[in-house]
Each structure stands twice: as C-alpha cells, then as structure tokens.
Structure 1
Amino acid sequence: MAHARDPLRMITLQGVDYGVGGPLLLEAVDLTVEAGERIALIGRNGAGKSTLLKLLAGELKPDDGEVRVAGGVRRARLEQEVPAGAQGAVFDVVAQGLGELGAWLAEFHRLSHAAAVDTAALARVQAKIEAVQGWRADQRVAETLARLALDGDADFAGLSGGLKRRVLLARALVSAPDVLLLDEPTNHLDIAAIDWLEGFLKGWPGALVFVTHDRRFLRALATRIVEIDRGQVSSWPGDWANYERRREERLNAQAQEAARFDKLLAQEEAWIRQGIKARRTRDEGRVRRLEAMRRERGQRREQAGNVRMEAAQGQASGKKVIEAREVSFAYPDGRRIVCDFSTTILRGDRIGLIGANGSGKTTLLKLLLGELAPTAGEVKLGSNLQVAYFDQYRATLREDWNAIENVAEGRESVTINGRQKHVIGYLQEFLFTAERARAPITRLSGGERNRLLLARLFAQPSNLLVMDEPTNDLDVETLELLEELLADYPGTLLLVSHDRDFLDHVVTSTLALEGDGRVGEYVGGYSDWLRQRPAPAVAPPTSGREREPAHDSRTDAVPAAAAATPARRKLGYKDARELEQLPARIEALEAQVAALTQAMHDPAFYQRDGAAIAAHGVELTRRQAELDAAYARWAALEG
C-alpha cells in the first residue's frame, strides 16, 4: 500500500515478522530506508538477507507487521542467481524491467529488426506504445544499454556469467528506481567489472540496499550496516570498521549478561531442589520467578556456531608439483590464451589466478592439470598427486541427491585424517542441521550449496587443492575460517578468485592473464600485483557482443590486450592550466570527504534529525563523485 511520500523515508518496515517453519526467520523488524543511503545487509548464510530484500521489494508479504512504501517510490531488485527463464535478445531481457510496456517495446524492436517486416503487426504494437507515451521508455532502454556497454541484439543465453549479471543490472536500472536492491551483485564479475560497479554505485543518486560477500566492495560502499542475527535486525550507522568495533563490544556485553543470567538461574534451580523442609517454606513468588526464568532461557536463540573446517590430507606429493615449459594454447579460430608460458609450482605453493572474464583462467587451470593438451610446449605433473577440485558452477553436486548423499555417497561416515565421523555430525561442522542435511539440495541457498561443496571437497584426501571461485555467497565468518584453513593447508593450492581480500590473505604468488597470451607471474596477492603490474593490466568491462568460447563453456570472453603506453600528447593552454590546478582541487576534495566521513563516526551525529543526516549523506556522495571525476580528469590529461 502506498502512502504520502516523505522526501527522506522511502520504505519503512514496522513490527515485521516472517517465517518459513520453525523459529521466525525475521522477528519484529523495524527498519527505514532513506534517500541517499547505501545500506549493506549482513548476516550468516540462511539468516534471512535475501528474504529481507524480497520484503523490501514487495515480492513477499510479511506474516505480521507492515511494509510502508512512500507514494511514487519505484523499487527494483537484482537477484542472487541468473533466473532460469531469462532468454531472448539482451534488449528484450532489459525491457522486462518496464513490465507490460517493456514487452511491447521488445516486440516492436524484434519486428522492426526482422528481415521481412510485418507492417500490420508493427503498426499495432506501435499504437499501443504511443497510447501510453512509451517512446521515452524506449530511449531509456537504449541509454541503459549504452551506459553498461551492452549489445541489445546479442543473445542473452550466449553471454558469459559476468555479462548476464550486467544485463540483469540493466533490467533493474531501466525503470529508474528510487530504491535499488542488489543481492550478491559481484557474483561472476571479474575484478575490472567489480571496480567499475563500485564506481557506478558510488555515483548512484537513489537509495541502495545490497548483500555482498566481497568485504572490499562492502567497505567501499556502505554508509550503514544492517545486521540480521537470530531473527533480530539491528542498524549500525557508519562504515564497516565502525560496525566491527561496536559489534564486538555488543557481543561481549551479551555474553556477560547471558552468563550472569545462567548463574542466577542455576542458583534458583539449586534452591528449588532443596529438602522437604525448604519446600514447605519456599516463597511462591520466587517459584513463579524461577518459572519465568526457565521460559526466558528456553526462548533464547543462541548465536549460530562457526563452521569447523578440516581438510583431509593425502600423502605428500613430490617436491615439484607442476612444471610448464614454453606452453602455448590457442583455439582453432586463432585466439591465443597462453603464449610461451613457463613456470614451476612446488609443494606448498599457494597460487592465485586472476584476469578478466574470458581471459582463460579455467583454460590455464586445465593446462596445468594436464586435462587439456597445449598446442605447443609441455606440462609435466609431479608424483603422488591427489587432486581435489572446487567447481564454481557447482556441477559436481548431484541435484537428485541430498547433502548426506552428496558427501558420503551411500556410506554412513567419512574419514578425515584417520578419524571416522558420522556424516551427519560431519555436516553439522559445516552448519547443516539434520533436517537440512536430508533436504533436497534444490532447497538449499547459494551459501549452503557452497558450504556443501566445501564439505565434499575437504572429505577427499588431497595434496593439490584446485578452487575455482570458492567465495561466492559465503558469509564473512566462513570466509575468514576458509582463509585460515587454506593458509595452514600443507599441500599445494591453485585458486581462481575475484575476491581481492581473499587473494591477499591466502596466496603467496599470482599468475595474471594479461591478454594476447601473456601470463605474468608476481610475488604476493592482489594488492602486490596492483603495485607490480604493467598498466593497464586488465581491460575495462567489455561489450555485450562477446560470447562464451564454444570450445570451453566455463571460460568467458577474451579481453582486449593491454595497450602500450601512448606517447604523451601536447596540451593546449586551457588543458595545461586545468592540469596544473587539479592537484590542489583533489587535495581539497579529499579533505572535504575525510571531514564529512569523520563526522559520521561521532555518536552525536546520529542524534540530529533525519533530514540533516540525509543531507549530510547526499553531500558526502556528491563530494566523493566530484573527487572520482577529478581523478579521472587528471588521468585523462596526464595521458
């Protein structure tokens, strides 16, 4: 139900409950989304983040409470996964964001581009569009496609995973929403595309609510953190660092209060169990208080435990794990993926593979593992290799099996480093209840599927772990535990990831696919590569005309080669003057952004009225956009 529009409050949830059986997933939720905010929703896998997004989008109705939307406010949501039913030309998929008008525009687009034009059908659909003055919306579709570098005539089904996500983002944007709701927007995007998306969303004028597992992306964007924990929603103004500090303080206070309560309850239980004489004279009021305490303790929802990961270790491999000598690989159409690449991978190395979508990371993995023959050169594998493979597309999970069957394959137990564990107990270490472990995996969330893949992977004895995008959909706590496990893994690791923090925390060296067959080898993780790489090392987001190579369905389209640094052009007087003044302008803008950000860290800031807080946020967004533009202009003039 729409209400009179408040210029600040876009969506308000008041006393909202939502459940799917068992304890309420969301309980008594009070939340307001205001203009100009960038809210990050966080919480454990299965806590209800996607559900809350759907409630905000109006796609779900609460069991109790109220969702109020200000009059005229438009909402759009980007789903976590690419929907199975999305098909047709890119223009058609994007136009779906306009509802029935979008369907007419898609039909007009299709008819007008046909080899033989059906003039009667074209006239009918044109009349429908003109009746609702819909040509402005057609222009908006075209502008959105251009803004996101997408080819409207491309076949959606033939695009890479990253490009499909860009198309779905365009579908969400084309309705010009006031509130943009994004569920794991960085899934299947490469590092260059994630950087682009960060910049795009920083300049987004509307309200933004997003869920992400990418900690660097979260830190770059969030102006407020909203946490879901055991059904309760709490709001933490400010950035991620402020949230982490204050959350730790709150958890400590909660733990102390719970310990005090449990101690008092134990004392009262001891009193009630005293002898006959004590029972004859006991205080009935005290008995009633004890009964109330028992009920309160019974209703307490404990914090979800942490995943307990342990990888089954195989026998030690030989010291030399993989040796590649002058390896080249090209597809029959002449596209070069690897050219004259040589490397030696030793036992204990943790290698990260990075590059744009389509640069050939999966192809390089297959070459190194001997699954794909090079067109030139040779790859030698070491002795005693036991390979365990994590597939980003979850193809190793059987859809007709439940979690137990996928891990144990008919057995009742698994053996981890010489110790037998019942499969249900083992899955509980990965936060699966007995009920979820027996449920069809079609009912599992994206995060649960990833945890199941990890459970299956680590049950296999291995000395060479190959992990292709293992971080998608995992919550922050599980990500940090996975980092610790991989850092202590005694075998060798090959890791493909677009999670910049994860790469920094795990790998010891990096292989970067830099275009035109070049593979650069660098010491350290992502940040080390940034400092050492030739510029530019990764192409910007690519156009929608690119496709998955027919020869490897799990390799995305190939980026442009890194351009050679052009000779610096001579600047005219006006541009030279602007370049001279830019450093001072950038310094002033940085100071303004820092001051505005620092003000938000002051607890007194949030005692101001809502209008002042929102105006402050809008000003910070504007200054940050000016700073980004100044840096871009400086780079252009310097070039």
Structure 2
Amino acid sequence: MPLISLNAVDYSVGGPLLLERVDLAIEAGERIALIGRNGAGKSTLLRLLDGELKPDDGEVRREGGVRVARLEQEVPAGAEGSVFDVVAEGLGSVGADLAEYHHLAHAAEVDMAALAAVQGRIEAADGWSLDQRVVDTLARLELDGDAAFARLSGGMKRRVLLARALVSAPDVLLLDEPTNHLDIAAIDWLEGFLKGWSGALVFITHDRRFLRALATRIVEIDRGQVSSWPGDWDNYLRRKEERLNAEAQENARFDKLLAQEEIWIRQGIKARRTRDEGRVRRLKAMRVERAQRREQVGNVRMDTAQAGASGKKVIQAKDVSFSFGDRALVRDFSTTILRGDRIGLVGANGSGKTTLLKLLLGDLQPQAGEIRIGTQLQVAYFDQYRAMLREDWNALENVAEGLEFVEVGGKRKHVIGYLQDFLFTPERARAPITRLSGGERNRLLLAKLFAQPSNLLVMDEPTNDLDVETLELLEELLADYAGTLLLVSHDRDFLDNVVTSTLVMQDGGEGRIGEYVGGYSDWLRQRPQHATQGQPPRGQAAATGNESAPKQVADPEVAKPAKAKRKLGFKEARELEQLPARIEALEARIAELTAAMNDPAFYQRDGAAITAHNAAVAEAQTELDEAYARWEALEGS
C-alpha cells in the first residue's frame, strides 16, 4: 500500500497547467530523485506531497497516520533561538513547550510557577519521550542544542533544519536541494546518513553524484507530465533518449499528415464539391491537437565574449602566507598558473578559499611572500551570492547596462536576443528580478558574466540551482574556454568534468594548500594515505536506528576533533556580542558602494574619485573578512 498517492492531480499558477493529470505513488523505503528543468514544478510537487498546497483537481491520498516532513530549499527567515528550539519546532505545540521548559530549567533564576505550568502541559501530552527524541536527534546529527541558530554557518543551519524534519520520525522525508551551501565533507556525511535512513525519501538535487549514490527511482516532470523511471540515473538517461527520439518521430509523422490535410482543404471549388465532412472534422481535431502540443523547453545557448590573450604566466605565487589573528589561512604557498589552466579550489566552508582567490587576484596583499599578476588580464567574476545583480533593475537592464547590443562569440547581438539564448522571453527579461527563481537568477548572472570580455574567469559556486541540462552545457563551455579558469565548487562531478588541476585547503587550520593534477576524483586517488586513516569524517552520525553507522574513510578536508573551549574574558565576550552588528553594517556598506559602481554615471567621474571609491570597496571588504575571521576565532575559543 503506497504511503502517499497522487491521482489525476492538476495544478496551475496561471497559463498552461504546471502539473497535469499527475499519477504518482510513493512506497515505503523508496529513495526518489525528482528532476526537471528550472520552473518545471519540482518544488510545487513537494509542497503538494507535504499538504502545504491543494491540487486544483484530482486527489492527494495519504495512508492513515503517515507522517511527512520537508526540508525547504532556503533557510526560513523566522527560524531563531537555540538549536534545541529550532529542532523541537518539528514536534509542534509539544515541541514549543519542551523548548520553553529547556530555557526555564537553565535560567539563572528559575521561575518555579512557570516551570510547573509548562511541566504540567508536557506531562499531559506525554511529552517527555519526545524530549528524549530531540536529545537523541541532536546527538545523532552531532549538534550542540545550546548553540545560537543565528550564529551557525549556512551548512550547519541546514543540518539543524534536517534534524527538525527528522525529529517527528517521518515516514516520508522531502528534501529540496539539500546539498546547497554544504561543503564536500558535509555532502559525503549526508549521503551516508540518508543511505542508512529507513523511511521513504523524495529529493530534488542538481548534484549528479549525490543523485547517483541515493536514487532508487527517477521521477521526471516535463511539460506538466510526470513520468517514472525505475533504476538509476544512467538507466534513466538511456531510456529518456529513446523516448525523446520516439516522440520526435511521432511528431514529425503527425505534422506531415497535418500538412497534407491542410493542402487538401485549401484546394479549389472542385475539391470542395466532393469534400468528405468526416475528413474535415478530423482536420479540425488535428489542428486543436497541434495547438495544444507543449514543446520541450529549449536549451541555453552559451558563448563567451572574447578578449585578447593574456600573458603566458597568469599568476605566480611564491612562499605566500596570510593569517587573520592567530589563525593561518594560507602558509608558505607557491604555485604558477599558466594561460589556459582550469583550476578547482576545494575545501571545507571557512577554510580560506575566498581569501586565497583574493590573494591570487591582488585584492588582498600577502603578509609574507610575493604574488605576481600577469599582463593583459581581463577578469570576469561569478559571485555565488549574486551581489553583481541590481535588485532595482530588471534582467534586461542588468545585462545591457544602458547598451542595446552585446558582442559575444565574435558576433554582435541585440540584448533581447542574447537573453533569449538564456531562456528569458522578452516579457521575462523586462520583469523585476525579484520575481525570478534561484535558477533564473543564476542563468541571468551567467548571461551578464559571459557578455563581459575576459581571459580570466573566476567562478564561485556557479552550479547552485541550475538544472542538469544547463549544468552540462556550462561544463562544455568551460571546457572549451580559451582563457584561464579559477573555480570554487562543491559539485564533485562538475569539478571532475571541468578542471585540469585542484588546489585543496588541507585540514588542521594550518593554512597548508595541496596541489594535485586532475579533478576531485583524481585528488582522492593522489592524497596522502596517512590522511585517510585513523579518524572518522566530521559529522559522522553515531548511530542510525539500532545499528551503528557504517565506518568511513577519513578525509583530509574534514575537521579534526574540536579542542576544549576556553572561557572568554569580559572584553572578548563583549566583542563577540558586537560583531554581528558590525558585520551587517560592513555588508550594507559594501552593497552601497557596489551599487554606486553599477551606475553608468559612475565612470564619468574623474579618475581620482574612481580610484578612491575602489579603494574604499577594498578596505571595507578587508574589514569584513577580518570581522568574519575574528567572529569564527572567538566562537571556536
């Protein structure tokens, strides 16, 4: 008996049905990968399964007592309090009482009356067993219940939200892009955890290796239709190609027959005297069928604006070191980057990848050693936070910046036509970018990036929110890019398919950087053997159900066991309390300065004013980096 079944479900958000007569059954123990193009309706289908949305027609049926939990794609804005509070929210009103009891019991001055009242409500709801479930879930995912949720990294916040989903002991777990903002070690941990989880799983992901490792069935949404493909990803790709070929042949046969019938109906008076009325009715039905056909969504057409060749030596670093406070991010690092190199940067969140990029590009000066920047460089930068996009401009204005044409791939294109290559209709190109999805924003940023002439391309997590088809086209473009590429990514397949060498931020906080030939898989084979033995990866779950979690090989990117925390002094505690506000102010200052640089009038100012403005941006960014490093140092003390 299916846990959840959808029967002839329709759902629309205006225009053609987003989901049309969908039939789908989810069985116990399945791990279903939900795939489709950006905007096809994947997240909408998860919300229908969750019960948040109701279908326009058809039925969503759940077996009695089936519990469903969903991990959303973005961190909810309202999530606050301690980690215990956020996780307990997954238990509803009883969870709120448990969180209140947890706070009252740990308060400096205990309000006994309030404590007794909340204790009574918990006992009435038989909630103490649920309290133990929260504690067990926190231990299982290696989370500190007393930590402030707001101060966690993006990856740790998603782990807390996963705990909130799991604490209700769901029969069906729905995950929307669970690998976003996770580093490779955390993705490996999540893979292992979900493989050992016994419930049914439905997940959306752009990470093909994650998909291959987990999926036992592929469910695809294509032009409103949902189709199921038993087996793994490679089996799906083979059978999908066969189906598309058959569809193309059938459409060609139908169109040929329709064209013949149109010729017949338009013949002269002699033909009209002997016209077969049944044939006329069939022609009308064929016209309706052809008008209702939904063509497959086209593929993005990417090309890059050409710049002159850079010098042969793009960047040379010799014995470079850089620290924030007493924490070394880069130590004694040397490398030579030549024209045409495609280099991947790999490391845990907070390990110093962005700092290394800024050092290599000259945005930060090393505290020791030397970095030489090559000649004739033209840099284009892809920012994972999409800060290059102006929120008060539409897609057309963000790419055009006052121009009517762009020069791409040696050809002059009108901006509207260029944006159509990135699947933006003229109407969508003129819509405010606040109405664009995450995938559309990433496509827009790629369009803006590739319209800039460059011979050094710097990309920080470009794969987030892209569908697989666009991801594969981006891989092909980067593989053929004539310039030099610096790529930060946690997508293991993407690294394997694009880069020619890899810089790895080694574990231990000592700032050591390893350099390896090839992509991520090549690094796994080449890394020192001593780094793969002796300790489990960070985030390894202690147990899954009643069974011990499978042992895994340690990873040099994975953090070592945390040192015992020391108690902060009064001044340090005060500094830690004030740092979040300082960071927010600096981020607002940088956003303001960057927005001014996006104004075409900015470049009509005199050279001294522009230089001073650029210096102010660099100074604010340095202060922000130092504030983040200081915050991390105090938090880890």
TM-score scaled to structure 1, two decimals?
0.83
| Aligned partner letter, 2:169 | A
Q: Contact 1:359/1:557 (CA < 8 Å) preserved in 2? A: no
Pick aligned residue for 1:79 from 72, 76, 95 = 72
Deviations 1:516-535 (A, max 9, x none): 21100000000100000122
Paired with 1:553 and 1:49, the residues of 2 have a C-alpha distance of 39
* 1:278 corresponds to 2:297: no
* 1:255 corresponds to 2:211: no
Pick aligned residue for 1:141 from 131, 134, 139 = 134
**Cα distance 1:135–1:543, how it changes in 2: closer, same or farther (>3 A)?**
farther
* 1:461 corresponds to 2:458: no
Tell me whether 218-227 or 429-438 shows the greater mean CA deviation. Answer: 429-438
Pick aligned residue for 2:185 from 167, 180, 192 = 192
Deviations 1:63-95 (A, max 9, x none): 111100111010001111112222221111111
Return the offset for 1:113. 2.2
| Aligned partner letter, 1:384 | Q
Q: Secondary structure at the match of 1:9?
A: coil
* 1:442 corresponds to 2:424: no
Deviations 1:584-610 (A, max 9, x none): xxxxxxxxxxxxxxxxxxxxxxxxxxx
**Cα distance 1:389–1:187, how it changes in 2: closer, same or farther (>3 A)?**
same
Pick aligned residue for 1:368 from 360, 363, 380 = 360
Return the offset for 1:381. 0.9
Return the offset for 1:436. 2.2
Return the offset for 1:544. 13
Alignment partner, residue 515 of structure 2:
521
Return the offset for 1:314. 1.7
TM-score scaled to structure 2, two decimals?
0.83
**Cα distance 1:114–1:398, how it changes in 2: closer, same or farther (>3 A)?**
farther
**Cα distance 1:116–1:379, how it changes in 2: closer, same or farther (>3 A)?**
farther
Alignment partner, residue 260 of structure 2:
267
Q: Secondary structure at the match of 2:506?
A: strand
Q: Secondary structure at the match of 1:226?
A: strand
**Cα distance 1:542–1:476, how it changes in 2: closer, same or farther (>3 A)?**
farther
Paired with 2:180 and 2:320, the residues of 1 have a C-alpha distance of 31
Q: Secondary structure at the match of 1:15?
A: strand
Q: Contact 2:31/2:217 (CA < 8 Å) preserved in 1? A: yes
Return the offset for 1:553. 7.5
Q: Which runs of 5+ in 1 are unaligned?
A: 1-7, 559-639
Return the offset for 1:439. 2.2
Q: Contact 1:96/1:102 (CA < 8 Å) preserved in 2? A: yes
Pick aligned residue for 2:224 from 208, 231, 242 = 231
| Aligned partner letter, 2:499 | V
Percentage of matched positions with identical amino acids: 79
Q: Which runs of 5+ in 2 are unaligned?
A: 533-555, 566-575, 584-623
Within 5 A, what are the aligned runs for 1:419-430? 419-430=411-422
**Cα distance 1:243–1:180, how it changes in 2: closer, same or farther (>3 A)?**
same
Q: Secondary structure at the match of 1:436?
A: helix
**Cα distance 1:371–1:499, how it changes in 2: closer, same or farther (>3 A)?**
same
Paired with 1:511 and 1:518, the residues of 2 have a C-alpha distance of 10
Within 5 A, what are the aligned runs for 1:341-490? 341-490=333-482
Q: Secondary structure at the match of 1:473?
A: coil
Within 5 A, what are the aligned runs for 1:595-634? none
Q: Contact 1:329/1:374 (CA < 8 Å) preserved in 2? A: yes
Tell me whether 60-69 or 312-321 shows the greater mean CA deviation. Answer: 312-321
* 1:129 corresponds to 2:114: no
Paired with 2:270 and 2:487, the residues of 1 have a C-alpha distance of 70
Alignment partner, residue 504 of structure 2:
512
Paired with 1:403 and 1:337, the residues of 2 have a C-alpha distance of 37
| Aligned partner letter, 1:526 | Y
After TM superposition, where is structure 1 displaced by more than 4 Å over at least 4 residues in a row?
Answer: 540-550, 552-558
| Aligned partner letter, 1:533 | R
Alignment partner, residue 174 of structure 1:
167
Paired with 2:562 and 2:133, the residues of 1 have a C-alpha distance of 18
Pick aligned residue for 2:625 from 551, 556, 566 = 551
Return the offset for 1:158. 1.4
**Cα distance 1:116–1:109, how it changes in 2: closer, same or farther (>3 A)?**
same
Alignment partner, residue 539 of structure 1:
558
**Cα distance 1:253–1:18, how it changes in 2: closer, same or farther (>3 A)?**
same
Return the offset for 1:410. 3.3
CA RMSD of aligned residues (A): 2.0
* 1:34 corresponds to 2:53: no
Q: Contact 1:149/1:544 (CA < 8 Å) preserved in 2? A: no
Tell me whether 102-111 or 197-206 shows the greater mean CA deviation. Answer: 102-111
Deviations 1:612-635 (A, max 9, x none): xxxxxxxxxxxxxxxxxxxxxxxx
Return the offset for 1:541. 9.5
Deviations 1:258-286 (A, max 9, x none): 00000001111111111221122221111
| Aligned partner letter, 1:538 | E
Greater relative contact order structure (CA < 8 Å, 6+ sep): 1
Paired with 1:554 and 1:428, the residues of 2 have a C-alpha distance of 40
Q: Contact 1:75/1:180 (CA < 8 Å) preserved in 2? A: yes
Q: Contact 1:362/1:554 (CA < 8 Å) preserved in 2? A: no
Q: Contact 2:324/2:626 (CA < 8 Å) preserved in 1? A: no
Tell me whether 315-324 or 227-236 shows the greater mean CA deviation. Answer: 315-324
Deviations 1:319-346 (A, max 9, x none): 11111111111111x1111110000111
